[in-house]
Amino acid sequence: MEGIGPPLATPFTEDGDLDEGSLRELVGWVEARGVDFLVPCGSNSEAELMSVEERARVVELVVEEASVPVLAGTGHPGLRETKRQTQLAADAGADGALVVTPFYFPHDEGALETYYREVADDAEIPVYLYSVPPYTNVTLSSDAAGRLADHSNVAGMKDSSGNLEAFGRTRRLAGDEFDFFVGAGSVAAHALDAGADGGILGLANVAPEACAEIYERHREGDTEGARELNASLVELNRAVTSVHGVPGLKAAMRARGAPAGYARAPHRPVDDETREELETLVAEL
Amino acid sequence: MEGIGPPLATPFTEDGDLDEGSLRELVGWVEARGVDFLVPCGSNSEAELMSVEERARVVELVVEEASVPVLAGTGHPGLRETKRQTQLAADAGADGALVVTPFYFPHDEGALETYYREVADDAEIPVYLYSVPPYTNVTLSSDAAGRLADHSNVAGMKDSSGNLEAFGRTRRLAGDEFDFFVGAGSVAAHALDAGADGGILGLANVAPEACAEIYERHREGDTEGARELNASLVELNRAVTSVHGVPGLKAAMRARGAPAGYARAPHRPVDDETREELETLVAEL
Amino acid sequence: MEGIGPPLATPFTEDGDLDEGSLRELVGWVEARGVDFLVPCGSNSEAELMSVEERARVVELVVEEASVPVLAGTGHPGLRETKRQTQLAADAGADGALVVTPFYFPHDEGALETYYREVADDAEIPVYLYSVPPYTNVTLSSDAAGRLADHSNVAGMKDSSGNLEAFGRTRRLAGDEFDFFVGAGSVAAHALDAGADGGILGLANVAPEACAEIYERHREGDTEGARELNASLVELNRAVTSVHGVPGLKAAMRARGAPAGYARAPHRPVDDETREELETLVAEL
Amino acid sequence: MEGIGPPLATPFTEDGDLDEGSLRELVGWVEARGVDFLVPCGSNSEAELMSVEERARVVELVVEEASVPVLAGTGHPGLRETKRQTQLAADAGADGALVVTPFYFPHDEGALETYYREVADDAEIPVYLYSVPPYTNVTLSSDAAGRLADHSNVAGMKDSSGNLEAFGRTRRLAGDEFDFFVGAGSVAAHALDAGADGGILGLANVAPEACAEIYERHREGDTEGARELNASLVELNRAVTSVHGVPGLKAAMRARGAPAGYARAPHRPVDDETREELETLVAEL
């Protein structure tokens, strides 16, 4: 896999039910705007707020609608549940499994490595590591990623730390065959400069065309143009991630006419002021 | 509820299956050693490493075996799953639901309060707040707890922060009707001095008699004796919580002859040196 | 040393000059209200905002005015400056030196221990360790304190972590000869229960009588009365420490009629709303 | 100012005295290797372990020896001491003052801004902001830097956070006239891509030629070459900053034949294994 993959938002109805029709539409909406693959059940999907069955159903629906590869988020705090969710994703036809570092209980790095090896041994589809310290308070080190890259079924990683030093080290330690994706939209072009194979960007739910254009410019050698475009998106990216979270992301998607639906509790809808701020940012696209 | 309740460890087989027989035995083992209530599916149970169905089953088994009240852990990162798990616990006959602060996604305090009110509105059994910053990186403030105490179905709280300032403030702000439990075994006697109604202590899986004795001494007015006994348990308490985690807890339980079983991955068994350290600490009981 | 020692605020004029007359008065003001010793140049003194010479002068003035023992804060980030400041304090007649963990550069625990041994070897007066994580992001562990207690010129410690588990462990590991002071006013009575020899409490600048009374009640065996009085002071204590800092402390002192003077920049005066909040809290004394 | 400026290490004798001769030599050593300006009394200088007088003397010596501009570190936790140190630097002939965010006491952003405005109002030389969260636990936000850039005597900033998102935002919010330097050696080339005017890099004490070459390649449009060279230096950079600190930096400098001298306590010399690791890394230059 390479290029831009949105960690697809999951449309819920105002009552919090999975809105299957909107999800199918959303797949078409982002694909029509130029993304290279799809990532259902990542953090932006609110996977941690869904049941195991709902997560499997979301992957199934996305696979059915998609004409590009599908990388499904399947990580849980425990090994058993991760294996089970990964199997369900494989059964649904996903092309790979994105496995977040186990959270809630603290584990040392040896335990994390053992965990990933067991997930990868068991999985019928390639496994991608996923480090997202803002949510888990866990950082998978570049050294650990480099060692795990030797496993034949560990195919790559999404790093959402935004730490370019770590990014460069992982790129070097994990080798060229490792599919390495940046998960921090504000520094995506820098990460491509550092050797990323693409980006899995929450922002690509709101501005798939612009994210695809960053990647395309970089691929064609216009690294400065890629950075310039990325720089123009930083305030929007912050607003739909670190500042206003998933409710902000969904409000911005609605402002663009995307079938985003509502966020699940404990998330709460953005207030009117935030909505207007997001509409202004989206209007600048 | 009042007194000492162990956040019951969940015995798993070496392969990681739920060991129902050992769980039933464990209920008897701790009850025989003087605890006042039982807390299945708390953090020490590895609930976050179990499926929804397994958690429900664990509660069911404990309710069946127990002759004391049962407070079941039912919290998930999302409202829907928490409501569902709470309903399953009520159906199984639990006397109350212990609901950890939602984790993974960050939420502001307003969202946390709304969340707890919705859980409490929906639940058929009394709801207890649960703040455990070492696992969730979330601290439910005393002010929020004080406001939530006004809800007719919010019955109390377990505070595992170990922060005596917060403990005292919550005691005062939440009022006398609020069942307030300390979750930090090293400072349990101090918390009783500060007005706790009891303790939900991981340590009570290993040393139920001693934990019950701390409570008893305090109840009889021997606050100094309670603190002295507690002080003698601090190294053991640290070893089975902050230092060696659930694998340490289970190793110490085995050293006492309790039917503890094994921990689930990503947890890994303690090494021999740690096992011996734990055996020495247990031998001092 | 034992009992209550205020980490004496340093009165500055509105222009930021040391106000020697007010400092002399302040010594009398707190002594008249029952404190057992004085701690100039602690954190509440804004020592880090003063020059070496000013710090020495403050100690000199306090020694001149005091009729109780004087424990002078002398710590800097570097060993040389700490030795020099300690010598100046000894020359001025201080009875002991309170040495904060070195800050700014991170050091491992071995380096911290070596540092304290070198300070203690060099000092002509007894040295007291000082751990205050909210300011330094450094925690001196109970284990390290226990080892340092073996040094013939390490006489004790002030622990401002508020962590009762650590407090109890240090008490045990450092032995009975170690003068152990709590620095967290909200949990002072609990710390006395855990074996503290007294408290060095910012709150004692505002409410010396009440702090002395906590200590006195505890000494006479009325531990419950000590805790009750302490509990009634928690909101005031928070307001003059963690919530509003030194500017809040000085505003509260002024509300009591103490010669507190002004805080130094970057500190800024409290706003009117905070001043009124503090006046209300002080009026309840 | 622009280009590469080493935050010059301060040579001390093994006894900890300032080694004036070695400092003079060091100025020549780095200048001969192509740096564009010099930064005495930055964090790598151990300024926080020196007296006010020593810091002034170091600046004086560097100004005397230097044939390039000199930007002197002059920040203290308090406004008075910072003003005084800045005046001493101006008197010694420094071309600018680099002022670290005030540390020890926490201050809100309004207080930080007021502080910097007062420093800049008072200073006879241009003031540069300095944000170094690893040492101070304070982050000066891009928004604050953008506002401060409007002050006629705030000339620029050194940002050692390594956060490229913040870097890009500060670049945009502070405008083109603002001299913006990266302080994180592992991401220097990325920062130049993001619009940095240069770097103030601890690494430039060990490998001034390579740092200068990164800057030169970038200036000539070879951004990829700049990043490649930077990537080859990441392990060395980590070893002399985040991993082994100032003692590591000085050991690596000695391995290169630079007159580095010794570090001051509480710093301790690196052990033999670390020394060999550093020698190996330096040998790869």
For every residue of B88-117, which 3-state class applies, written as one string? HHHHHCCCEEEEECCCCCCCCHHHHHHHHH
For the stretch C240-277, pLDDT in tens is 999 999 999 999 999 999 999 999 999 999 999 999 99
User: For D164, which of A190, A223, A224 is closest by C-beta distance?
Assistant: A190
Cβ of C190 and B193 within 8 Å?
Answer: yes
Given a cut of 90, is residue D172 above it in pLDDT? yes
* CB < 8 Å to C193, chain B: 190, 193, 223-224, 227
Q: Does chain D touch chain C (at least 3 C-beta pairs within 8 Å)? A: yes
User: What is the residue-wise DSSP string for chain C?
Assistant: --EEE-B----B-TTS-B-HHHHHHHHHHHHTTT-S-BBTTSGGGTGGGS-HHHHHHHHHHHHHH-SS-BEEE---SSHHHHHHHHHHHHHHT-SEEEEEPP-SS---HHHHHHHHHHHHHH-SS-EEEEE-HHHHS----HHHHHHHTTSTTEEEEEE-S-BHHHHHHHHHHH-TTSEEEE--GGGHHHHHHTT-SEEE-GGGGT-HHHHHHHHHHHHTT-HHHHHHHHHTTHHHHHIIIIITHHHHHHHHHHHTT----BPPTTS----HHHHHHHHHHHHT-
Residue in A with minimal Cα distance to D225:
A193
Distance in angstroms (rounded) separating the CA atoms of residues C246 and C261:
11
Maximum CA extent, chain C:
50
Cβ of B79 and A245 within 8 Å?
Answer: no
Distance in angstroms (rounded) separating the CA atoms of residues C62 and C92:
9
Nearest CA distance, A82 vs chain B (angstrom): 9
D267/C contact by beta carbon, under 8 A: yes
Instruction: List CB contacts of B149: < 8 A, sequence separation 6 or more.
Output: B173, B174, B175, B177, B178
Mean pLDDT of D137-148: 98
Whether the CB-CB separation of C247 and C267 falls below 8 Å is answered with yes
Q: In 3D, which of B14, B6, B40 has the Cα closest to residue B264? A: B14
Nearest CA distance, D65 vs chain A (angstrom): 34
The residue written with tokens 């005015």 in the block is: C65
Q: Is B127 helix (H, G, I), strand (E, B) or coil?
A: strand
Given a cut of 90, is residue C1 above it in pLDDT? no
Query: Mean pLDDT score of chain B, rounded to an integer?
Result: 98
| Active centre residues of B (catalytic) | 130, 158
Q: Which residues of chain A have pLDDT under 70?
A: none
* CB < 8 Å to A162, chain D: 163-165
Instruction: List CB contacts of D273: < 8 A, sequence separation 6 or more.
Output: none
User: What is the residue-wise DSSP string for D177-241?
Assistant: TSEEEE--GGGHHHHHHTT-SEEE-GGGGT-HHHHHHHHHHHHTT-HHHHHHHHHHTHHHHHIII
- SS3 readout for C174-197: HCCCCEEEECCHHHHHHHHHCCCC
Distance in angstroms (rounded) separating the CA atoms of residues A116 and A272:
43
* CB < 8 Å to D76, chain C: 49
Q: Does chain B touch chain C (at least 3 C-beta pairs within 8 Å)? A: yes
Given a cut of 90, is residue C278 above it in pLDDT? yes
Distances (CA, A) of C240 to B141, C138, C201, C206: 19, 22, 11, 9
Cβ of A48 and B265 within 8 Å?
Answer: no
Mean pLDDT of D49-62: 98
B193/C contact by beta carbon, under 8 A: yes
Question: Which pair of tokens denotes residue D239?
Answer: 């070893």
Omega cis (within 30) before D266: yes
Number of cross-chain residue pairs from C and D with Cβ atoms under 8 Å apart: 117
Neighbours, chain C (3 or more CB pairs < 8 A): B, D
Cβ of D190 and A186 within 8 Å?
Answer: no
The terminus-to-terminus CA distance of chain A in angstroms comes to: 27
Q: In 3D, which of D128, D102, D93, D169 has the Cα closest to residue D5? A: D128
Please report which helix (H) or strand (E) contains residue B182, including its range: strand B179-182
Q: Does chain D touch chain B (at least 3 C-beta pairs within 8 Å)? A: no
Residue in A with minimal Cα distance to D242:
A165
D180 has which bridge partners? Answer: D157
Whether the CB-CB separation of C258 and C274 falls below 8 Å is answered with no
Q: In 3D, which of C172, C147, C145 has the Cα closest to residue C159? A: C145
Neighbours, chain A (3 or more CB pairs < 8 A): B, D
* CB < 8 Å to B202, chain A: none
Neighbours, chain D (3 or more CB pairs < 8 A): A, C
Q: In 3D, which of D40, D46, D75 has the Cα closest to residue D58? A: D40
C109/B contact by beta carbon, under 8 A: no
Domains and CATH numbers, chain A: 3-283 (3.20.20.70)
Instruction: List CB contacts of C284: < 8 A, sequence separation 6 or more.
Output: C236
B51/A contact by beta carbon, under 8 A: yes
D182 has which bridge partners? Answer: D159, D199
For the stretch B173-211, pLDDT in tens is 999 999 999 999 999 999 999 999 999 999 999 999 999
B274/C contact by beta carbon, under 8 A: no
A193/D contact by beta carbon, under 8 A: yes
B157 has which bridge partners? Answer: B129, B180
Mean pLDDT of C196-213: 98
Distance in angstroms (rounded) separating the CA atoms of residues C40 and C27:
10
The strand ranges marked E within chain D are 3-5, 71-73, 96-100, 127-131, 154-159, 179-182, 198-200
Given a cut of 90, is residue B1 above it in pLDDT? no
Nearest CA distance, B243 vs chain C (angstrom): 13
The terminus-to-terminus CA distance of chain D in angstroms comes to: 27
Given a cut of 90, is residue D1 above it in pLDDT? no
Q: Does chain D touch chain A (at least 3 C-beta pairs within 8 Å)? A: yes
Buried b / exposed e across B248-281, counting CB within 10 Å, b at 16+?
Answer: bbbbbbbbbebbbbbbbbbbeebeeebbebbeeb
Cβ of A79 and B136 within 8 Å?
Answer: no
**Phi, psi angles (nearest 5°) of residue B65:** -85, -25
Nearest CA distance, B54 vs chain A (angstrom): 11
Q: How many CB atoms lie within 10 A of CB A250?
A: 29
Q: In 3D, which of A157, A160, A183 has the Cα closest to residue A170? A: A157
Instruction: List CB contacts of D8: < 8 A, sequence separation 6 or more.
Output: D23, D26, D27, D30, D38, D39, D40, D42, D44, D45, D62, D205
* CB < 8 Å to D214, chain A: none
Radius of gyration of chain D measured on its C-alpha atoms: 17
A247/B contact by beta carbon, under 8 A: no
C179 has which bridge partners? Answer: C156
User: What is the residue-wise DSSP string for B201-264?
Assistant: -GGGGT-HHHHHHHHHHHHTT-HHHHHHHHHTTHHHHHIIIIITHHHHHHHHHHHTT----BPP
Cβ of C187 and B164 within 8 Å?
Answer: yes
Cβ of B187 and C165 within 8 Å?
Answer: yes
User: For D103, which of C52, C79, C104 is closest by C-beta distance?
Assistant: C104
Instruction: List CB contacts of A11: < 8 A, sequence separation 6 or more.
Output: A18, A19, A22, A23, A26, A259, A260, A261, A262
* CB < 8 Å to C262, chain D: none
Cβ of A234 and D186 within 8 Å?
Answer: no
Distance in angstroms (rounded) separating the CA atoms of residues C74 and C99:
5
A217/D contact by beta carbon, under 8 A: no
Q: Is D285 helix (H, G, I), strand (E, B) or coil?
A: coil
Residue in D with minimal Cα distance to C79:
D265
Distance in angstroms (rounded) separating the CA atoms of residues C17 and C51:
12
Mean pLDDT of C154-173: 98
| Active centre residues of C (catalytic) | 130, 158
**What are the start-end ranges of the H helices in B141-181?**
142-148, 164-174
A135/D contact by beta carbon, under 8 A: no
* CB < 8 Å to D223, chain A: 193, 223-224
Cβ of C81 and D106 within 8 Å?
Answer: no
Cβ of D52 and C49 within 8 Å?
Answer: no
Distance in angstroms (rounded) separating the CA atoms of residues B222 and A46:
50
User: For D50, which of C43, C78, C115 is closest by C-beta distance?
Assistant: C78
Query: Which is catalytic among the residues D130, D215, D250, D262?
Result: D130
| pLDDT for position A1 | 87
For the stretch C36-61, pLDDT in tens is 999 999 999 999 999 999 999 999 99
User: For B162, which of C163, C224, C234 is closest by C-beta distance?
Assistant: C163
Q: How confident is the model at residue C152 (pLDDT cuts 50, 70, 90)?
A: very high
Mean pLDDT of D60-83: 98
Cβ of D165 and A162 within 8 Å?
Answer: yes
Distance in angstroms (rounded) separating the CA atoms of residues D252 and D275:
8
Mean pLDDT of B90-94: 98
Residue in C with minimal Cα distance to D16:
C80
Cβ of B79 and A264 within 8 Å?
Answer: yes
Whether the CB-CB separation of B40 and B205 falls below 8 Å is answered with no
Cβ of A193 and D169 within 8 Å?
Answer: no
Cβ of B106 and A245 within 8 Å?
Answer: yes
D15/C contact by beta carbon, under 8 A: no
Query: Mean pLDDT score of chain C, rounded to an integer?
Result: 98
Residue in C with minimal Cα distance to B225:
C193
Distance in angstroms (rounded) separating the CA atoms of residues A248 and B111:
15
CB-based burial label for A35 (10 Å; 0-12, 13-18, 19+) = buried
